[in-house]
Amino acid sequence: MNVAGKTFDLNLLPVLVAIHEHGSVTAAAQRLGMSQPSVSTALSKLRHKYGDPLFHRVGHGMKATPRMRALIQPLREALTRMDDTFVAESVFEPMSTQRTFTLAMSDLGEMVFMPKILKRIRQLAPRAAVRSVAASAAQIERGLETGEVDVAVGYFPDLREKSFLEKHLFFHHFVCLLRSNHPITAGTLTMQQFLSLEHAVVYGAGRTYEIFERHLRAKKLHRRVVLETPHFLSIPSIISRSDLVVTVPHAVGVFVKDMHLNIRIAQPPLRTPKIDLKLHWHRNFQRDPKNRWLRELVAELFTDESDEWRD
């Protein structure tokens, strides 16, 4: 389809139809799983290409121009043909694919999830590649929306817009780490011991620490923090050579314990909140065969019943 002598961007077709059917840019954005500014930008491009306003604002809604009313039926037919094409081609062949699976994870998330995901993908899609990315919340949101990132796995509290879909995988809890020959030898710390100790805090990009910190504030508990670090990797060395205690997700404790370092696990003196680990993806790729295949693989590997990190 050509408009004003230029190739028409077929990705803009759903925007016109959604605005026509729902009567507003806001409602169209919600229907399409897009941001309102993105829909407004698309409409501006369409107006320029057609040389017509296409819609006039009437009250709180949008009314189609005569040109738009003439276009709506051909546009709907074009979308139907596009949908039929996608359905016909919606076959993903993992054994032959050479595509890259990109997953957003924190360093802790990579420790928990990547070994099993990589092993399963290597078994089922041996010619594919796997890429893990750590980025800001805004970058992950954009990556999921554009398809640069297939899924986000772990704790991502910012992915709460309607544009993002999610599936619960399993829960983590918190434990304390101390050096093995620490003066305090109890398997469960008392509140007095916990508050008297000097603490390290890992404020990594995964943001799980926020859950525990909020819980302490809600309980009006104050402890002395003498070290803050963004790195889980440095914690084993620091804890094994000091009298500090650190409270971390249980998976970190299991990982450190398996390394046979001078560190032991102790239970905190209070019931800690759980970390809800989830699989996240964008509505734009709900029906995408590659994305769906990856989601099913991750969801099969990680459940509350099969959680290898629990006690």
Local structure of 128: helix, strand or coil: coil
d(CA 22, CA 24): 6
Cα 199 to the center of its chain, rounded Å = 29
pLDDT band at 4 (very low <50, low <70, confident <90, very high): very low
Tell me how far apart the alpha carbons of residues 174 and 273 are, in angstroms, rounded to a whole number: 8
* pTM of the shown model: 0.66
C-alpha torsion sign, points 8, 48, 148, 287: negative
Average pLDDT over residues 239-244: 94
Tally Cβ neighbours within 10 Å of residue 281.
Answer: 24
pLDDT over 90 (residue 79): no
Given this model, what pLDDT does residue 89 score?
Answer: 45
pLDDT higher than 70, residue 85: no
pLDDT higher than threshold 80 for residue 81: no
Q: Give the model's confidence band at 84: pLDDT under 50 very low, under 70 low, under 90 confident, else very high.
A: low
- Tell me the pLDDT tens digit for each residue of 199-221: 999 887 667 888 999 999 999 99
Q: Are the beta carbons of 80 and 260 closer than 8 angstroms?
A: no
